[in-house]
Amino acid sequence: MKKTERLANLALAGLTMAPLVVKVEPNLNVILTACLAVYVGCYRSVKPTPPSETMSNEHAMRFPFIGSAMLLSLFLLFKFLSKDLVNAVLTAYFFVLGTIALSATILPAIKRFFPKHWNEDLIIWHLPFFRSFEIEFTRSQIIAAIPGAFFCAWYASQKHWLANNILGLAFCIQGIEMLSLGSFKTGAILLSGLFVYDIFWVFFTPVMVSVAKSFDAPIKLLFPTGDSARPFSMLGLGDIVIPGFKAFHVDLCQSGWLGPSPGSNGLGKGGCGLARPMNTSTCVLFFANDIVIVVAKVGIFVALALRFDVSRGKESQYFKSTFLGYTVGLVLTIVVMNWFQAAQPALLYIVPSVIGFLAVHSLWNGEVKPLLEFDESKTAVGKQEGGEDKSSKKEE
C-alpha cells in the first residue's frame, strides 16, 4: 500500500469519527467523505490480475430500466405493506450484507497475520436441501466476519449514525473495488442511462422521495449538523438494495465467499453509490436508493481510468482527470442545491463532469483511440493465455 493510500484510509477513518468530538461543516463533510471513499475504493480495485467478470454493453443499456422497476416495486411495497415490517426484513438483509462487506473490507489488513493456508485453503459448505448451492470461504474470512457480525448487531439494535456510516462506507468501497465496467464505452452507456434515470425520478415523480423517506437502512451517510431541529444532513447510497443480491453474489464469487451460481452470466451490476447531498439549511430528508448511482457507478468509472493507467505502466494521468471531474461535479451539485434550496439529481452534474474531463484530457493527449479500445475482459483473457504459454514452455 502506497503512502497516499494509507493517508487516504486514515483521513477517511478520522473524518468518519470526527463528528463525535467536533462539529464538522456538513457540506464539507459530504465532499471529503465522498471523494475519499472513491479514492480508497479505486486503489483497492487495482489487482495483480484483471477482473474476470465485467459488464456488457447490453447489460449497461438495461440497467436503468431494471433500476426503475425495482424502485417502483419498493414504492408499492411501502405503500401497501407495513413500513415496520418492510424495514425489519431490510434490517435482516443488511445484517448479512453488512457482515460480508465489513469482513471483506478489513480482511486485507489482517490476513498477513494469519498462516498462509488459512488464507488459501477453501472450505466448501453446501446448504441443506439445496445441495447445488455452495458457499466457499477461508478460515481468514471466518475470523474477519466475527467483528463484522458484532458490529452489525450493534447497528441493528441501536441504529446509531456512526454504525450506519461505517456500513455505508464499507458498501461503497467494496462496490468500487469488486465491480468492473470492462470498458469506457460500457461505462459511458451506463452513466448516460443513469443520467436520464436520475433526472426522471427526481424531477418528474414523487416515487424516489417517498421511498427515501420510508427507508430505514444503511443506504445513506448521516452527517450531524449540531442543530436539534435538523440533526442530520444526508448523503444517499444507491444500488445496494435490489438488485443488490445479484450484485453482491457477483462480489462474493470474486472475493471467494460464494461459488458460482448455476447459469451465471457474469453480469457485474450492483454495488453502491452516492446519491445527492442534503440541503443543510432546510434538512430535506431526501436521499436516493436502489439504482441512483454516483459513488459506486461513477466510482467504478473512475477506478477503470486508474486501472487503464496501470495497464499502460504510466503515471495515473487519466485517473487524476476523472477524479477531478468527479470532485467538480459533486461540488457543483452542492452549490446548485444550496442556491435553489432544493434537492438536485447529482448525476445531472457529475456524469457530464466526469466524462467531459476524461474526453478533453484524451483529446488533448491524442489518445482517444486507445482509450476507447481498452477492454479489461480481453486483457484478462490475454494474460491467462500468456500464462498458459509460459507454463507449457517450462514443461517442454
Q: Of these residues, 84, 198, 216, 309, which one is catalytic? A: 198
Is the Cβ–Cβ distance between 67 and 239 less than 8 Å? Answer: yes
Residue with cell 475470523: 143
H helices present in the chain, as ranges: 3-17, 26-44, 57-80, 83-110, 116-120, 139-158, 161-178, 184-203, 207-214, 244-255, 296-311, 317-340, 347-365, 368-373, 376-395
Question: Burial level of 317, CB count in 10 A (0-12/13-18/19+)?
Answer: middle
Q: Give the C-alpha separation, 20 to 24, whole Å.
A: 10
Q: Give the C-alpha separation, 204 to 198, whole Å.
A: 10
Q: Calculate Rg over the CA atoms of the chain.
A: 21
Q: 3-state DSSP call for residue 159?
A: coil
375 part of the active site: no
The DSSP bridge partners found for residue 237 are: 274
Q: How far is CA 231 from the centre of its chain?
A: 26
239 part of the active site: yes
Q: Give the C-alpha separation, 250 to 53, whole Å.
A: 8
The type of residue at 257 is W
Q: Of these residues, 84, 121, 227, 239, which one is catalytic? A: 239
- Within 10 Å of residue 158's Cβ, how many Cβ atoms? 11
The DSSP bridge partners found for residue 100 are: none
Annotated catalytic residues are 198, 239
